[in-house]
Amino acid sequence: MKMVKITGAVCRDVLNDKEFSVNAKVVINCAGVHADVLRQKDNPDVESRIVPSRGTHIMFKKGDLFPNDMGMIVPETTDGRLLFIINYFGHPMVGTTDGNTPATHFCEPT
């Protein structure tokens, strides 16, 4: 199989129903939970890397927990989940993964 370098994308303006090309030196796959689907369109033999999961997030007031420019990740808690505290627009957001779930475009609270 010949390797071909990705050098851009063909985009569609759905409002005007027009297609246009965009050239790039670097193309980054930012498809999130759907990144493997995009990678496998390029190479069907590549193994999946993404494990879709659902989680819980709690927001705190600015200045609580950490200074605004700090965060923390615990890669595995005693029950096997990921725990993180990140700065979200100056507010500490604490989050965890609750379990695996199918990847979907339609998210809703549970």
| DSSP letters spanning the chain | -------EEEEEETTTTEEEEEE-S------GGGHHHHHHHH-TTSPP----EEEEEEE--TTSSS-TT--EEES--TTS--EEEEEETTEEEEEEEEEE----S-----
Q: Report the C-alpha gap between 82 and 53 in whole angstroms.
A: 10
The pTM of this model reads 0.54
Name residue, tokens 């890669």: 75
pLDDT digits (tens, 9 = 90+) for 55-74: 889 999 888 877 767 888 98
pLDDT digits (tens, 9 = 90+) for 71-90: 889 888 898 888 999 888 88
